[in-house]
Structure 1
Amino acid sequence: MKQNLKNMSGVPIRSWCQDPGPLTMTQAENLARHPRIFSHVALMPDCHPGYGMPIGGVAAFRDAVVPNAVGVDIGCGMCALATDSKGKPDKTLLQHMIARIQKRIPTGFNRHKSAQHWDGLEEYREKLSRKPGWMGKESLLIAAQSLGTLGGGNHFIEIQVDREDRVWAMIHSGSRNLGKTIAEYYHREALKQNRKETIVLPSEDLAFLDVHCAKGKDYIRDMSFALAFAGENRRRMMHTLKAILADTLGCGFENEVNIHHNYAAEETHFGYRVWVHRKGATAAHKGIRGIIPGSMGSPSYIVEGLGNPDSFCSCAHGAGRVMGRNEACRKLDAADVARSMQGIVHGDFPKIRKGPLKGMYDFGEAPGAYKDIDTVMACQSDLVTVLTRLQPLAVVKG
């Protein structure tokens, strides 16, 4: 499914995306001309414009980390598990489960009233010889209060069922405000350092830090902390979700997967050690399991990686947007949205309270705002093997 796209300068661009679009291509071409880029740029089938680097993009850099090529929600990712409960719960039972989830797991900007204990916070503090520049007086307190919370935007909790009518649970969330604070600080530091060294960048949004310099080492340390935080955040929510499911369905659990799709990691590709940045992209090393969610009204997939070197052993992280949030609010029809969510237990779409779209329904997360997940999956048959197809029964959005 790979296609080699024309690129007048820089390394090649290899795309699994049917129609990347002009802005996505501009960002991909900027990546291809980056002074530290390695081998080629890979675009996954869910690719769409991001900030600096496309979401659904994969790029490897020589001895460099690019904060905006990881993104602001460091460690955003997925967690899923299967139950041993067979048979679709009825609507009343699903509504009961959703109500209990909403009562126990804060969503949106909400967080726990008290700090949640996590050894990882103490371990991180012990590593610090000095206070990082991003860290305010209450940064770690807010982080501790945010553990086990969903956040907003496209983050979700779903109850699903596979082809054998076995019930599954799935969570999409990240590092909350912690990752955003870290990312924005280090991008500013990278830009300052690149300007000082008069480094010519194809876009200032792609400012980088050398991994051997102090700030580069600090970013890797703090990114790793945010990754651990995000993984723990999903683990805690899944722990709560398991308790609710066990109490409601009397079930046991198996096959839990917890993965990131916004991160950078040092890996070996084509015989070289490089820093692979996956921004809205899932690792698909040979034999490892991954999770590719659809939109809130469409199927999700549990997959196994094929280890395709041309994608830097990566695949899509979801359906990918076909419309921006504001565009979706303007263009999507309420009746069509209702039909796309038929049979799925969910909350009402809220109305926008302020700004130029005030009074309109917020359809930024409606199914019509996303690409068709089955088309996305078909485009990456050389990247992953599908293990399980999951149909949504009920959803909680952030």
Structure 2
Amino acid sequence: MSELKMTGKQLLGLGYPQGPVIRVAIDVIAEHYPAATPEEAEAVLSSVLKDPVAYQHDPVLGAIAAHLMVEEKPEVIALRDTPVDYAIFGAEFIEEGTIKQLNNAIRLPVAVAGALMPDAHQGYGLPIGGVLATDNAVIPYGVGVDIGCRMCLSILDLPEASLETQASNYQKALKNKTKFGAGAEWKRNDADPVLERSEFREIPVLRNLLDKAAGQLGTSGSGNHFVEWGIVTILDANNEWNLAPGNYVGLLSHSGSRGMGAQVAGHYTRLAKELCVLPKEAQHLAYLDMNTEAGQEYWLAMNLAGDYASACHHLIHQRMIAEMGATLLARVENHHNFAWKEIHHGKELIVHRKGATPAGKGMLGIIPGSMTAPGFIVRGKGEESSLHSASHGAGRQMSRTKAIASITAEEMRKMLQDNGVTLIGGGLDEAPGAYKDINTVMSAQSDLVETVGRFQPKMVRMADGGPAED
């Protein structure tokens, strides 16, 4: 018999008040009533709710009773009346709803500074392309569902002409050495140090996620996640790798921490909402105090998920490079769904970048376009008004639903053909026309980054059309 798992929604349905008692009750049932049926568990919880005084000395249920006896309706944490000033880059092509979302975030009592990148569009909690610095608090939805979603570019010693002369081999590598989709797993698990991390044993929510993490290691998600071959053009002669300016074959990937990261995000978002009750318009911005056990737990789990995402990319690249018999010349990579401890305004802050690229002075990163538009290798300028950040891509100008309704398969096929791009998988929701013009986006952030090189996609592998994980 599988272990019983209660949800906050079930407890609210029984009449439990929103607050810490929800988490306490779920944990008590999971630990002490694992073999109970849902009906039996609900009967126990209803009895405690009806008369908590009768259970106050019960060695198991007393913890629930104690919370019920002292808890009243949780106080809603008020937002500031006016937002902290923040910079918007490319404001002329950012929708009003996106700006409104960041306005809500910047009114949080823990908010210190923020910025909005030129690829910004609406999301949950922080907008995609939103940057928020907080004082000693972390916002799970400020990081996002796909913790550690990142870019990784490998520059290889293969001749540019081989993309045409050996096209079938490149395509074969994409088809056979990658896996995509929400439940994608490899039949044979690869070993990696990230799977040996102590967090899998020490943090309760991670204990049951190790098998999932092992199976999905080296796979990619759905939505806008991809692995693609293309042409890297090095433009800066003074680049960090001492590569001669010119063209090289490149391998670029985009994905995150897979199912493990999604479950970590979901668990701590629910917990944050129980502990930090905000007005309805800001409820997805619920935060965890870094001085609490919950805040420290999330921070450790988030960093593990980020390292796991990095390991996924490295394994994908290792397989693909070996398949083509290539040698790695240089690599650039960065997270763009994460939180960092950084010094701004003279103090340590928690900087959330949800769909934003770190762009500290001299820091390298990748900003992709679309499946037909170029991506950019960039070097950060350390602009303080952007909190050392830049865009994470071109940014959507159409929702997935609108793209599917507005763009035909023939239009997409022609656009791919006109740009000399071969697509494996993908859907109309990811059609190039669904995205903003990457060149316009780059022009709007010329104060934030300088261009070191470009990447032009030539063969793109994605999951079939479906929901995003970014």
Per-residue CA deviation, residues 214-238 of structure 1 (Å, 9 max, x unaligned), is: 1000000100110110011111111
Cα distance, 1:278–1:42 mapped onto 2, change above 3 Å = same
- Cα distance in 1, alignment partners of residues 280 and 223 from structure 2: 31
Match of 2:149 in 1: 76
Q: CA deviation at 1:8?
A: 7.7
> Which secondary structure does the structure 2 equivalent of 1:346 belong to?
strand
TM-score, normalised on structure 2? 0.75
The offset of 1:200, in angstroms, is 5.6
Look up the match of 1:256. Answer: 331
User: What is the letter of the counterpart of residue 25 of structure 1?
Assistant: I
CA contact (8 A) 1:94 1:345 kept: no
Instruction: Provide the rounded CA distance (Å) in 1 between the counterparts of 2:289 and 2:81.
Output: 27
Give the structure 2 partner of residue 224 of structure 1. Answer: 303
1:391 is aligned to 456
User: In structure 2, which of residues 419, 422, 447 is the aligned counterpart of residue 345 of structure 1?
Assistant: 422
The 5 A counterparts of 1:370-381 are: 370-381=435-446
Measured in 2, the distance between the counterparts of 1:14 and 1:202 equals 22
SS of residue in 2 equivalent to 1:237: helix
Give the AA of the match of 1:223. Answer: M
- Would you tell me which structure has more helix in proportion to its own residues? 2
SS of equivalent to 2:351: strand
Question: Structure 2: which amino acid aligns with 1:179?
Answer: G
Given the alignment, which residue of 322, 335, 342 partners 1:243?
322
The amino acid across from 2:100 in the alignment is T
- Pair 1:92–1:364, CA change in 2 (3 A): farther
Q: Do residues 35 (structure 1) and 35 (structure 2) align?
A: no
Secondary structure (helix, strand or coil) at the match of 2:334 reads: strand
Partner residue of 1:144 out of 214, 219, 226? 214
8 Å CA contact 1:74, 1:180 repeated in 2: yes
Match of 1:187 in 2: 269
Alignment-mate amino acid for residue 74 of structure 1: I
Measure the CA separation in 2 of the matches of 1:311 and 1:243: 39
Pick 1 or 2: higher relative contact order, CA cutoff 8 A, min separation 6: 1
Other-structure match for 2:192: 118
The offset of 1:13, in angstroms, is: 2.9
Segment of structure 1 superposing worse, 263-272 or 253-262: 253-262
Alpha-carbon distance, 1:202 to partner: 5.3
Equivalent position of 2:358 in the other structure: 283
Percent identity over the alignment is 37
Q: Which residue of 1 aligns with 2:82?
A: 9
C-alpha RMSD over aligned residues:
1.9
1:203 alignment partner, SS class = helix
Partner residue of 1:296? 371
Aligned residues: 368
Q: Matched residues in 1 for 2:196 and 2:327: separation?
A: 32
Residue of structure 1 equivalent to 2:117 = 44
- Larger radius of gyration between Structure 1 and Structure 2: 2
CA distance, structure 1, for counterparts of residue 265 and residue 254 of structure 2: 20
User: What is the rounded CA distance, in whole Å, between the counterparts of 2:199 and 2:388 in structure 1?
Assistant: 33
- Runs of 4+ residues over 6 Å off in structure 1: none
Question: C-alpha separation between the residues in 2 aligned to 1:231 and 1:386?
Answer: 23
Inter-partner Cα distance in structure 2 for 1:68 and 1:300: 27
Contact kept in structure 2, 1:285 and 1:306, CA below 8 Å? yes
